[in-house]
Structures are given as structure tokens and as C-alpha cells.
């Protein structure tokens, strides 16, 4: 099967590397060093974006602001699968424009940027959310997700955005908060601190896009986190260890 990948950052490059094992993969990225690295890894590249359009599936692995512009302007009529961590705005643009579009999002990744984050095993056993415009599940796309080693899971795109706000987007801000608190003492930190602050090291522009495109859901769960921290603060201030124990047990049970 012919698959084109537009954008070869951490996720796009990893997708291209993995799918190359079973499919004819072509890729394009605007960064010359990334294009060179793709070719060194045996992935066919093209000289311009439109050369990707002779394909069975176009995978969009673009920054969200760039994806928005692409979807609003493209004349590509074939199948599109994106990988953005927010779905609602892009699903709605695709619906309005009549695009043959499936929203996708692998629950995988790392904090490294660009080709330094490429990992062909990144998707092994991970959930890969899929969102349909018409409520129908696309078997071809589902099989491609399985070829990545991932587990396809069809879901309503609005529910997706709420879930991801809670388990991913707000977690970045919490990780950033942990780093803010510990930064003056990082030289003494152990593995717990490093684990808690790992997400804070991810691509800042990607994090800002998450906030820009999923603001309402993020605010909802950020408020939850703020309220919970207030509870912990007041129980600690009062040395109310019995209720503190109850709160901790409720969370970890």
C-alpha cells in the first residue's frame, strides 16, 4: 500500500520508519536535515508537498496550527489520517470542507524533538485513538494502525479531547509546576523528580498548541487539580493526618 507522511517530527518520522517495514512510504518535511535523515533511513522523499498526493493514505503529522491551515486550503481528495492530540477543531474543518478525513491520535511519544525522537517501536501496544466523521469505522486505516503495533480504538472526537486533557495536556502543566518548584535544587534531585518533570521537557510549541486548541477541557481539569492541591494544602497546614490519609487512599486505591 502507498502511504505518504507529511511532517517527519518525532511522531511522523516514527510512523514512517515503522510503516516502511510493510508499505511503500513516501515522506516530506520542510527541514532539510530531516529530509536527509529520512533518506539515510531508506525512506523515499519528494521535493514538494503535492508530490505526496499520489497515495492510498496521507498521514498528517504537522504542528496543529500548520494542520489547521492545510485542512482549510488543501485540494487533496484522498484519505487523510492526522495524529494531532486535539481532534475537535480539525474534525469540524474536515466536515465543513467535505474531506475524506479520519482523526487519529497515538497515545505515545517522548520529550525529544524532531528526528532525535524517532523510534520505530514507539507505538507497540499503545492505544491509537481513531475518530470518524460519519460514525463508520475505516478498516483500511485500522489495519495500518495495527501495522504500527498499536491498538486502534474508535471514539467520539469530543470525548477524546476531554480524556486527553485529563491524562496528557494537564499533566504537562502539572509537570511544569513540579519543575518550577524544584528547579533551584535540581542538582540534588533523584529519579522521582526526574520522572515527575519529564513531560515539562517536551516541545514547548506543541504544548502551546495543545492549550490553544483544547483550552476549555484543559481549564476544566486544571481547575480540578487546583482544587485538589488546595485540599492537600489545608489538610497539611492543619496537620489533619487522618483526613489526609483518607484523601491519599481515595486517589491511589
Q: Are residues 189 and 217 in the same domain?
A: yes
Q: 158 in helix, strand or coil?
A: helix
Q: Are residues 92 and 206 in the same domain?
A: no
Query: What is the Cα 251 distance to its own chain's centre?
Result: 26
Q: Which DSSP letter does residue 149 get?
A: T
Burial of 180 (0-12, 13-18, 19+ CB in 10 A): exposed
Q: Are residues 184 and 65 in the same domain?
A: no
Q: 2 in helix, strand or coil?
A: strand
End-to-end CA distance of the chain: 46
- Cell 479520519 belongs to which residue? 102
Q: 91 in helix, strand or coil?
A: helix
The cell for 218 is 484543559
Query: What is the domain range of residue 218?
Result: 161-252
Please report the beta strands in the chain, taking only residues with DSSP state E, as ranges in sequence order.
2-6, 24-28, 44-45, 57-60, 80-82, 101-106, 127-132, 151-154
Q: What is the pLDDT of residues 39-54, one digit of tens each?
A: 999 999 999 999 999 9
Q: What is the pLDDT of residues 190-249, one digit of tens each?
A: 999 999 999 998 889 999 999 999 999 999 999 999 999 999 999 999 999 999 999 999
Q: What is the CATH number of the domain that holds 6?
A: 3.40.50.720
Number of domains comprising the chain: 2
Q: Are residues 229 and 127 in the same domain?
A: no
Amino acid at each position: 500500500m502507498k502511504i505518504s507522511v507529511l511532517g517527519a517530527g518525532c511522531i511522523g518520522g516514527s510512523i514512517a520508519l515503522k510503516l516502511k517495514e510493510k508499505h511503500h512510504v513516501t515522506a516530506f518535511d520542510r527541514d532539510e536535515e530531516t529530509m536527509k535523515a529520512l533518506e539515510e533511513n531508506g525512506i523515499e522523499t519528494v521535493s514538494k508537498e503535492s508530490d505526496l498526493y499520489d497515495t492510498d493514505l496521507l498521514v498528517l503529522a504537522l504542528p496543529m496550527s500548520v494542520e489547521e491551515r492545510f485542512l482549510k486550503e488543501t485540494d487533496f481528495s484522498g484519505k487523510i489520517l492526522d495524529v494531532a492530540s486535539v481532534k475537535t477543531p480539525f474534525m469540524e474543518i474536515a466536515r465543513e470542507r467535505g474531506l475524506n478525513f479520519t482523526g487519529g491520535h497515538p497515545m505515545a511519544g517522548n520529550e525529544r524533538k524532531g528526528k532525535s525522537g524517532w523510534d520505530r517501536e514507539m507505538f507497540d501496544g499503545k492505544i491509537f485513538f481513531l475518530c470518524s466523521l460519519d460514525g463508520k469505522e475505516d478498516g483500511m486505516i485500522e489495519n495500518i494502525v495495527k501495522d504500527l503495533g498499536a491498538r486502534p480504538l474508535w471514539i467520539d472526537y469530543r470525548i477524546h479531547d476531554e480524556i486527553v486533557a485529563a491524562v496528557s495536556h494537564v499533566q504537562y502543566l502539572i509537570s511544569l509546576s513540579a519543575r518550577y518548584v524544584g528547579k533551584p535544587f535540581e542538582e540534588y534531585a533523584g529519579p522521582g523528580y526526574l520522572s515527575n518533570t519529564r513531560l515539562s521537557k517536551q516541545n514547548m510549541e506543541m504544548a502551546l498548541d495543545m492549550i490553544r486548541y483544547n483550552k476549555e477541557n484543559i481549564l476544566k481539569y486544571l481547575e480540578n487539580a487546583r482544587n485538589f492541591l488546595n485540599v492537600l494544602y489545608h489538610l497539611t497546614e492543619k496537620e489533619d493526618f487522618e483526613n489526609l490519609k483518607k484523601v491519599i487512599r481515595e486517589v491511589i486505591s
